[in-house]
Structure 1
Amino acid sequence: MTDIDKFLQRDSFIERNARGRAQALLDPGSFRELAGPFERLYSPWLAMQQLVTQADDGVVVAKGMLDGAPTVVLAIEGGFQGGSMGEIGGAKIAGALELAARDNRRGIATGAVILFETGGVRLQEANLGLAAIAEIQAAIVDLRRYRPVIGVSAGTVGCYGGMSIAAGLCSYLVVTREARLGLNGPQVIEQEAGVAEFDARNRALIWGLTGGEQRAATGLADACVDDDSAAIRATVASLFARGVPARHRSERAGDYLSALAGADTGGQPAPGDVRAVYTKGEA
C-alpha cells in the first residue's frame, strides 16, 4: 500500500466534529453524553447580544471506557464561536473534571481527556469566561494527582489564550502537525507588537514556531501524531498506561523561565533557535 493509499484510507480526527472525536476515543458502545444538547444549555449572554447560540454551548461531555478504564472526554467544538470558553461550556468542563476527581477519591480510578480546539476566553462573556477557565485549571490540577489528565490538540483552530495554560497543566499533551499552541494568536501578536515582530500571514513562520511538530520538539507536548483517529486513540491509551508523571511540566516552570531569560530577543528566531532555548529547560 502506498503512502497516498494510506492517506486516503485514514480516519481523519481533524475532520470529525467534537462529538465524533469523543466517540472515536472511547471504547465502542461505551459513549454516554452528559449535559448534552437536549438539555438546552444555551449561553444566555450570547442570546442577549443577538448572537447565534448552540444547545450544548460548544462543549461535549462524554463518559465511557477507554481500554476498559473509566474515562471522561471533554471535547470543545472549534466550529462554534471559535471554540471560545463561556460560562456554560466552561462549567461543563470544570464540573466533569471535579466529578472525576470525586470518583477517584471514592476509589473509582477515572481519567480525563480534554480535546482543545479553542481560541481561549469568549470575549462576549468577559469575566465569566475567565472565571470558567480558572475553574477548569484548578480542576485539572486537582484531578491529575490521581489519574492523568491528557490534552489533545489536533486542529484546525489551535489552542490559545487561557486554555493554552490549561493545556500546559495537563499531565500529557498530544498534538498533530496541524495543531498550533500558544498563549497569544498570530493576529493578536501582530496587532500589539507589529508585523516586524510577527507576520500573521506567514504560515510557515506560524507553524515553524507554534505548530504541533515544533511544540513536541521543544518538550511542550509529549507526542506529535498523524491525523488518524486510531493513532491518536492508541497514543492517549499509552499515556494513560504511564500513570501520573513523577513531575508535571508545569512544575518545571522555573527551569523554562531560566532558559527563556537567556534567549536572544533582538530578532526573529528560527525554529531551531526556539528548540535550542527550550531544550535548556528540560533539565
Structure 2
Amino acid sequence: MSTVVSPSPHALLHDSFIELTARERARALLDAGTFRELLGPFDRLESPWLPLQGIVCQADDGVVIARGTIDGEPAVVAAIESAFQGGSIGEVAGSKIAAALELALADCERGRIVRPVVLFETGGVRLQEANLGLAVIAEIQAAIVALRRHVPVVGVIAGMVGCFGGMSLAAALCSYLVMTKQGRLGMNGPEVIEQEAGIDELDASDRRRIWQLIGGEQRARTGFADALVDDATDAMRSAVRDAFARGVRPAHRSEQVDVYLAQLAQVDPQTITPETMRAIFAAQSSGSQPSNGGAA
C-alpha cells in the first residue's frame, strides 16, 4: 500500500506581502529580531472623535510605528492598517506618522541617519476627522520633503486598498516608490470619480480598466513608481533595500514641474489611453526603468 502524505499547510501558503497586516509588514521589512514598536496598542493612543460618532476605536488608531534596522542601519517604518477604517488618516494616526518622520529628521540633522519607510494602504483622510486629518497629512508631506534631503524616503504601495487622496500626494513626494501590480495610486479613487463624474466617465466596477489606468504596472511604466515587484515578502524587502542603496535622489519628481507640465500639454483627454500615457510619460520618467522583483 502506498501512503498519501498531505503537504504541510505552510507549504501551500504563498509568501504574500499584501496579505500581511500592517504590523507584520513592518516586521518583515526590518532586519530579523530588531522590530520594536512605538506607541503600540497597549499605549491606548486612539481617536477621541470616533466614539462621539458611535464608531469603535482601534487602540493604535490603525497605524503601526516600528524602529529597527535595515541592512544594519537605523530605520523607522510607518505602516497603515487597511483593515481599520480603510486605512483612513485621522488626527492620531496621522500624528504618529508625522512625529515618527520628524524624529527621524531630527536624528538626520544631528548626523545620525535613520532610514524612513512609509507603507501606504489608505483611501486618504478620515472623513469623520476631516479638517484634523487634512492638517496632519500636510505635516506628513512637509516631513517627507525635509527628510529626503538627508536620506531616501521610501514609500510602498502593495495592495488591498491602494493609496488615494492627500496621502497619494505624500506617496508622490517620496524619494522612491515601490509598488506591486495589485497596488493602485491615484488622487481620487474610482468610486469617487464615478460618483462625481458619472459612470460614463469611469465605471468603478471595471476592474481591468481601473488597473490599466492607476495600477502598479502602469504607474511604473509611466515613471510615477520606481520599482514594480512581485507580491512576495522577500521581493519587497529586497526592493526597499535597493532603494536605500541608490542614495539621495538628485532631483525628485515634485521638483520637475516644467517637465511634467510639458508632458501634460501632450495629453488629449478625448483620445488618451493607458498606452499613449506610457508613450508620453516614459520618455521623461523618474530616471529608472521598472523592474520585476527588485528596485530598478
- Please report the TM-score for the alignment, with normalisation by the length of structure 2: 0.91
Contact 1:256/1:280 (8 A) holds in 2? no
Q: Which amino acid aligns with 1:279?
A: A
On the 8 A contact 2:70/2:115 being kept in 1, the answer is no
Equivalent pair of 1:214/1:275 in contact (CA under 8 Å):
yes
The reply to whether residue 66 of structure 1 matches residue 70 of structure 2 is yes
Relative to 1, partners in 2 of residues 1:100 and 1:187: Cα closer, same or farther, differing over 3 Å? same
- Paired with 2:100 and 2:127, the residues of 1 have a C-alpha distance of 23
CA distance in 1, matches of 2:191, 2:13: 35
Q: Which has the higher helix share?
A: 1
Partner residue of 1:128? 132
The 2-side partners of 1:73 and 1:236 are apart by 11
Q: 1:231 to 1:8 in 2, by over 3 A?
A: farther
Structure 1: stretches of 5+ with no match in the other structure: 1-6
1:9, distance to aligned residue in structure 2 (A)? 5.4
Displacement of 1:8 in angstroms is: 4.8
**Aligned residue number for residue 277 of structure 2:** 274
What residue in structure 2 maps to residue 118 of structure 1? 122
Please say if 1:19 is aligned against 2:23.
yes
How far does the alpha carbon of each residue in 1:221-250 deviate from its partner, in whole angstroms, 9 at most, with x for none?
000000001110011001101110111111
Residue in 2 that maps onto 1:109? 113
- 1:1-283 alignment runs, 5 A limit: 8=12, 10-267=14-271, 269-282=272-285
1:273 deviates by 1.5
- RMSD over aligned CA atoms reads 1.3
Farther-moved stretch of structure 1 (72-81 vs 194-203): 194-203
Q: CA deviation at 1:190?
A: 1.0
Moved over 6 A (4+): none
List per-residue Cα deviations over 1:83-134 (Å, max 9, x = no partner).
0000000000000000001011112111100000000000000100000100
Bigger mean CA deviation after superposition, 232-241 or 255-264: 255-264
2:294 maps to none
Q: Secondary structure at the match of 1:27?
A: coil
Partner of 2:8: none
Normalising by structure 1, report the TM-score: 0.95
Alignment-mate amino acid for residue 103 of structure 1: D
Q: Secondary structure at the match of 1:45?
A: coil
What amino acid is aligned across from residue 233 of structure 1 in structure 2? R
Unaligned runs of 5+ in 2: 1-10, 288-296
- The total of aligned residue pairs comes to 276
Q: Is the 8 A contact 1:209 1:274 kept in 2?
A: no
